[in-house]
A and B are shown apart, each in its own frame.
Chain A
């Protein structure tokens, strides 16, 4: 048996028996999909609430035709009595609409009718409802105007001089992906969390327990020892990522995303692509943790360093969230950033060039191997056996 396999086998056995480390390694992959489900469900509820607008109206009896039209558009209208301004100011109502008494008479004479809309401009939470109501009134106005023009023998087109047409370049899938940006984040976090136990135990732990001296007296090369440990940690890390990925996708498929106009569908091919995109990260994360682990004098020491390291995946996430620029080729060469982008793009059903996978995998593995070589160098030092 090759020494790398011997070390790998021992570290996997040791890792499997470490209940506490196993718990912390795989509790995250199990929690992430629950978080995804809860967050998406909450998002859908919020949207559904906005759709279900209730508009308080004073003088509801003065404009039966308008009220009927609003109800047709899924707007609930309730009769309101009392001080409209006070109700809005005290946040009892988002807005109040006042229909004047002479609505019908002026309408019949084709004279302009003023509807009062009482709202508080400083309240952003009421804004969607106000906007929606204004939009509906504009549409109602346009409808009536068109009818009046037709009645006078004029084509309604004379009113339409410049028309804005919305063209959203994001496909529906991509809009879903933007909302789903945190799935890549969770997968990347899993890479750092799931392999951590073995990465730290096999470096800082080995020094702390003083098992490193008897280990190094064996006639095998130091880099074989380091590579064996690296592979063991990487396997746990990759397992955690794949688990997170599959469970998150499963959780998403349980959320009724169509309700908010998102069409989320992940095929088996896409899952394979995402796994290919993320696996190099498991190797990279483990190599970073091992390097920190070998610097640390004790397990506790190592854990505090590595806690800070785990913030690292947040950087590309924040970068992409706050400066959502189009992906450029160089980004595929930056580990962590490239995985975040690749995952978002695959989830958004955007075509990703094959070279991007190559860049991403190569840069991740090369960086990981480099760090492992540095770790192996440190294993060569005499000071490694001293606590």
Chain B
């Protein structure tokens, strides 16, 4: 379970977060929806343990991220928005490196890596260097290294951004699969249809604060609109 409470964070003159409070329940898919620059990535970075909020708390499975970032980090798998890869390493090298950083036993590592390679359908590229990979192939490597330690919580920052239709669909299927495995999934997106179709819960962020939270129906009701997109625009512009 992921919980944030009244997060606020400023970078110099820019107030990135003013008041962000939401909860992502176990075994549910929670979508962070908001325009660009609304504070989705900053909120996630607080949860990754990379950014310290000025005020507020972030808790993952009962662990305070700010007080004990390493313990919290061991409970999460992350697909950050910068999908940086080491160009001279193979896909498998990446998976192994991150697995070892999480302290996975060497004997288990190979099996786990093979399982993920099969799950993500990347056997043909597993032992190639990532230099020259397509955007979709790179995303698969990033997903594999985020999942190698079987995290109970997954956070994905705009996971389908820049992907072709086939890979975007594969990613959405993976997200559903993770839910079936009773994993807490929190992902950000600015694609309405994606969020509407996948999520159990939607959190709408605008200008550094949460403007609405609930199921698609609840959000439509809150804005008194039949269409989610109309509801989104109404809620965001209300600020």
Q: A residues touching B (Cβ–Cβ < 8 Å)?
A: 1, 3, 6-7, 9-10, 13-14, 17-18, 209-221, 382, 385
Contact = CB atoms under 8 A, between A and B. Distances in A.
B101 A6 contact: yes
A217 B88 contact: no
Contacts of B74: 219
B87 A214 contact: no
Interface in B97-117: 97-98, 100-103, 106
Interface in B29-84: 45, 48-52, 69-74, 76, 78, 80, 82-84
A346 B166 CA distance: 67
Most A-side CB within 10 Å, residue of B45, B50, B106, B142: B50
Nearest to B48: A217
A99 B70 CA distance: 95
Contact of B73 (A210, A213, A217): A217
A313 to B, nearest CB: 29
Contact of B71 (A1, A3, A14, A219): A219
B145 A214 contact: yes
B86 interface: yes
A10 B97 contact: yes
B49 A13 contact: no
A6 B78 CA distance: 20
Given A213-B50, A214-B145, A221 B85 contact: no
A18 B89 CA distance: 10
B49 A213 contact: no
B70 A209 contact: no
A217 B50 contact: yes
A209 B88 contact: no
B73 A218 contact: yes
A217 B49 contact: yes
B97 A6 contact: yes
A294 to B, nearest CB: 16
Interface residues of B, number: 35
7 contacts: A14-B89, A18-B88, A211-B85, A213-B84, A218-B73, A218-B102, A219-B69
Most B-side CB within 10 Å, residue of A1, A211, A212, A219: A219
Nearest to A6: B100
B84 A214 contact: yes
Contacts of B45: 385
Given A6-B101, A217-B76, A218-B98, A210 B82 contact: yes
A98 B73 CA distance: 94
A20 to B, nearest CB: 11
Contacts of B69: 219
A215 B73 CA distance: 11
Contacts of B73: 217-219
A216 B101 contact: no
A145 B71 CA distance: 97
A46 B51 CA distance: 66
Given A6-B101, A220-B101, A213 B93 contact: no
Contact of A1 (B78, B87, B106): B106
Nearest to A15: B88
A216 B50 contact: yes
A212 B50 CA distance: 11
Contacts of B48: 213, 217
A312 to B, nearest CB: 29
B116 to A, nearest CB: 16
B80 A214 contact: yes
Contacts of A6: 97, 100-101
A218 B52 CA distance: 16
A9 B78 CA distance: 23
B88 A17 contact: yes
A217 B84 contact: no
A252 B82 CA distance: 52
A168 B179 CA distance: 86
A217 B106 contact: no
Contacts of A210: 82-84
B89 A3 contact: no
Given A1-B100, A214-B78, A217-B78, A382 B84 contact: no
B50 A221 contact: no
Contacts of B106: 1
A233 B162 CA distance: 36
Q: Which 7 A/B pairs are nearest by Cβ-Cβ distance? A: A210-B84, A211-B84, A210-B82, A219-B73, A219-B74, A218-B101, A17-B88
A215 B69 CA distance: 14
Nearest to A17: B88
Given A18-B88, A213-B84, A216-B50, A13 B93 contact: yes
Given A6-B101, A212-B84, A219-B71, 17 more contacts: A1-B106, A6-B100, A7-B101, A10-B89, A13-B89, A14-B86, A14-B88, A18-B88, A209-B85, A209-B86, A211-B84, A213-B84, A214-B82, A216-B50, A219-B73, A219-B102, A385-B50
Contacts of A218: 73, 98, 101-102
B84 A219 contact: no
A11 B84 CA distance: 16
Contacts of A18: 88
Contacts of B142: 214
A209 B84 contact: yes
Contacts of B72: 219
A218 B93 CA distance: 16
A197 to B, nearest CB: 12
Contacts of B84: 209-214
Contacts of A219: 69-74, 101-102
Nearest to B70: A219
Contacts of A14: 86, 88-89
A46 B195 CA distance: 82
